[in-house]
Amino acid sequence: MRITAALTETQGAPFALAPLDLDDPRPGEVVVRMVSSGVCHTDLIVRDQWYPVPLPAVLGHEGAGVVEAVGDGVTYVAPGDHVVLTFSSCGGCRMCVQGRQAYCDQFFAYNFAGSRPDGSATLHRASGDVHGAFFGQSSFATHALASERNVVKVDPEAPLELLGPLGCGIQTGAGGVLNSLRPPAGSSIAVFGAGSVGISAVMAAAVAGCTTIVAVDLNDRRLELAAEVGATHVINAAAGDTVERLRELTGGLGVDYTVETTAVPGVLRQAVDALNQGGTCGLIGAAALGTEVSLDMSALLFGRGVRGIVEGDSVPRLFIPKLVDLHRQGRFPFDKLIKTYAFEDINEAVEDSEKGTTLKPVLTFA
């Protein structure tokens, strides 16, 4: 079918809307008409080739929309169902069968290869194939081809124009707290970076019952929003020694948990140094390949830990509907992070995201 997509032609180039041909669904595949798609930091670092996704490509991996067609063998969804698109996985490897599909042994092939796992293209133009299937979807387009495994059916009463970011950024921040770190009620947590992922972690910490929730950032406007949605304290990292301030807030001990979302090595070091003995740092920020950090080994020796977190350790079919329910109850107000833009204004949305004036841009399709 003929679609309109935002094409990334070369490294760092602006997105350009172009007509493309999308494959019909094969067995196990689903065609979704896009209603919205979040713009994520990962889209932008792939555009800039931090990760080696082949170009030209159609990016986008926080889609939400309505199922238009299904391939043979699809039973989970049917045409007319409302869905959120999320990351893809093989379903059969050692990690997937444990319910840890965010760590699928074939994660790169299913999400970053620019094609189906068998190497075939999903998008085409007169001059040849275009790389698609980004995160199993390529949602910067009027229609996306996904698989039955990476669509999540949601309540048709839920606002599809807001739900796309639940497929990646928001589920990553929230899941990093609720699924990965699992802080008990009454515990303390500091979130480094108050972007959309970090503030999602702040909201999740409030849901979990943490009683000391600290947001750390350089942007006072973001810190104000963090306080509005659950942070009990905020720290502008430019105002002094962040680690020392966190120790003061916890009686000299340090915090039980930290979440690092910035991908800045020096900030990760602070997030580890701020832990109390036995504390855990969850690393969410996506740095360029090969980025290294220096840590104090003696500090780690005393029970401190660092663990990487992908996609919030979520099982999307279970976790995304829970976030929708929490939002409906007013306990997870992720809509406060979102500003919508018409699809044709994608470059404005990207610019606002990069300038930090918009936390979570979401593209909407007429």
Nearest 5°: CA angle at 349, between 65 and 29? 25
Residues 133 and 92 grouped into a single domain: yes
What CATH code is carried by the domain that includes residue 83? 3.90.180.10
Q: How many CB atoms lie within 10 A of CB 182?
A: 12
**Residue 366 above 90 pLDDT?**
no
Whether the pLDDT of residue 288 is over 90: the answer is no
Whichever domain contains 281, its CATH number is 3.40.50.720
Going through 12-59 in order, the beta strands assigned E by DSSP cover 16-22, 29-38, 57-58
Q: Which domain holds residue 243?
A: 173-309
pLDDT value at position 117?
A: 94
Question: What mean pLDDT comes out for the span 93-117?
Answer: 96
Same domain, 263 and 195: yes
121 and 82 both lie in a single domain: yes
- Tell me the two tokens of residue 269: 């070091």
CA–CA separation, 3 vs 21, rounded Å? 6
Is 327 among the domain residues?
Answer: no
Residue 338 lies in a domain: yes
- Looking at residue 240, its amino acid is G
For residue 337, is it within any domain?
yes
Task: Please indicate, yes or no, whether residues 65 and 136 belong to a single structural domain of this protein.
Answer: yes
pLDDT digits 0-9 by tens, 258-283? 999 999 999 999 999 999 999 999 99
Q: What is the mean pLDDT of the chain?
A: 96
Q: Are residues 19 and 163 in the same domain?
A: yes
Domain contains 278: yes
Q: Clarify whether residues 224 and 240 are in a common domain.
A: yes
Residue 32 lies in a domain: yes
10 and 120 together in one domain: yes
Q: What pLDDT shows up at residue 63?
A: 98
> Cis link prior to 56 (omega < 30° from 0)?
yes
Looking at the domain assignment, is residue 320 inside a domain?
no
Calculate ∠ Cα 180-184-186, nearest 5°.
140
Confidence bin at 221 (pLDDT 50/70/90): very high
pLDDT in tens, 34-78: 999 999 989 999 999 998 899 999 999 999 999 999 999 999 999
Give yes or no for a contact between 39 and 88, defined as CB atoms under 8 angstroms apart. Answer: no
Q: What is the DSSP string of 114-174?
A: SS-TTS--SEEETTEEEB--GGGT--SBSEEEEEGGGEEE--TTS-HHHHGGGGTHHHHHH
Total domain count for the chain? Answer: 2
Q: Is the same domain home to 252 and 109?
A: no
